[in-house]
C-alpha cells in the first residue's frame, strides 16, 4: 500500500514539475518580451523594476501598556518596507535589469528542469546515476546563484534609487534581500550531491567487481 502511495506522489511530482516548467517558460517569455518591447510600443510598466525592499529609521514615538496600568514610551528605530516609484524603468537600468532577469529566470528554469529529470529517473526506478549527481550539483549552484542575482538586482536598484529618495522623517538604509536560508540549503544539497557521487562510484565498482 505504501509503495502505491509513493508511486502516486512521484507521479504527481512529475506532472506538477512538467506543468511548472512549461508555464515558467511562457511567463518568462512574456515578461522579457514586454520588458524589451514595452518602450518601443509605448507600454509603461510600473511594476517591473522600481520596487525594491529597503530598511529605514524613523523618529516615530508611541507608548506600550504593560500590566494594564504601566505605560512606557517606545520608539521605532528601525523598519523595513518596499519603496515603489510609479514610473517606467529608466533606459539606464533597462539593460542590466534585462540581463539580471534573464540569468535569474534561466537559473530557476534549470533548477525545475533538473529536478523534473531526477523525478523521472525515480519513476523509472533508476535514480542512482552519475547524471543525477550532476543534476543535484546544478540545483545547488543554481540556488546560490539565484540569491546572488537577487542581491545584485537589489544593489543595482538601491544605487539608482537611494540618492533620489527624499523624506522628511525617514532615513533610508539600503537593504539587499538575500536569503541565507536558501544559500545554506544549496550548500546542503551540494554536500548531498557529493555523497551521491561517491555512492554511485561505490555501486559501479561493486558491479564491476562482481
The confidence band for 116, taking pLDDT boundaries of 50, 70 and 90, is: very high
DSSP string, 41-99: HT---TTSSSEEEEEEEE--EEEEEETTTEEEEEE---EEEEEE--SPPPHHHHHHHHH
Does 189 reside within a domain? yes
The confidence band for 46, taking pLDDT boundaries of 50, 70 and 90, is: very low
Does 109 reside within a domain? yes
Does 11 reside within a domain? yes
Number of domains in the chain: 1
Lowest-confidence segment of 28-42, 85-99, 106-120, 186-200 by average pLDDT = 28-42
Does 200 reside within a domain? yes
Give the domain extent around 38: 2-44+89-209
Does 60 reside within a domain? no
pLDDT digits (tens, 9 = 90+) for 133-145: 889 999 999 999 9
**What's the mean per-residue pLDDT of the chain?**
79
What's the confidence (pLDDT) of residue 19?
92
**Alpha-carbon distances, residue 59 vs 65, 82, 173, 178 (angstroms):** 20, 18, 14, 27
pLDDT digits (tens, 9 = 90+) for 60-101: 778 888 877 788 888 877 777 777 776 666 777 777 878 888
What's the confidence (pLDDT) of residue 110?
92
Grid coordinates of 55: 530598511
User: Which residues lie closer than 8 Å to 38 by C-beta, 6 or more apart?
Assistant: 44, 45, 48, 88
Does 100 reside within a domain? yes
pLDDT, average across residues 10-27: 89
pLDDT digits (tens, 9 = 90+) for 181-205: 888 988 898 888 888 888 887 877 7
Sheet containing strand 79-84, edge to edge, reads 79-84, 51-58, 170-174
pLDDT, average across residues 52-61: 71
What's the confidence (pLDDT) of residue 47?
46
Does 58 reside within a domain? no
Does 139 reside within a domain? yes
Total residues belonging to the chain: 210
Amino acid at each position: 500500500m505504501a509503495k502505491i502511495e509513493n508511486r502516486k506522489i512521484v507521479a504527481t511530482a512529475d506532472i506538477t514539475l512538467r506543468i511548472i516548467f512549461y508555464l515558467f517558460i511562457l511567463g518568462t517569455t512574456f515578461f522579457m518580451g514586454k520588458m524589451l518591447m514595452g518602450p518601443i510600443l509605448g507600454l509603461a510598466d510600473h511594476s517591473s523594476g522600481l520596487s525594491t525592499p529597503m530598511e529605514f529609521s524613523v523618529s516615530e514615538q508611541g507608548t506600550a501598556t504593560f500590566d494594564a496600568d504601566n505605560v512606557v514610551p517606545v520608539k521605532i528605530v528601525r523598519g523595513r518596507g518596499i519603496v515603489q516609484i510609479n514610473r517606467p524603468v529608466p533606459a539606464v537600468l533597462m539593460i542590466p535589469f534585462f540581463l539580471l532577469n534573464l540569468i535569474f529566470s534561466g537559473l530557476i528554469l534549470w533548477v525545475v528542469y533538473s529536478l523534473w529529470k531526477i523525478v523521472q529517473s525515480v519513476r523509472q526506478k533508476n535514480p542512482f546515476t552519475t547524471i543525477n549527481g550532476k543534476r543535484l550539483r546544478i540545483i545547488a549552484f543554481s540556488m546560490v546563484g539565484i540569491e546572488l542575482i537577487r542581491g545584485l538586482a537589489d544593489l543595482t536598484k538601491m544605487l539608482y534609487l537611494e540618492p533620489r529618495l527624499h523624506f522628511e522623517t525617514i532615513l533610508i538604509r539600503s537593504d539587499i534581500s538575500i536569503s541565507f536560508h536558501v544559500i545554506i540549503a544549496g550548500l546542503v544539497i551540494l554536500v548531498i550531491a557529493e555523497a551521491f557521487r561517491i555512492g554511485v562510484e561505490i555501486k559501479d565498482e561493486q558491479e564491476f567487481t562482481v
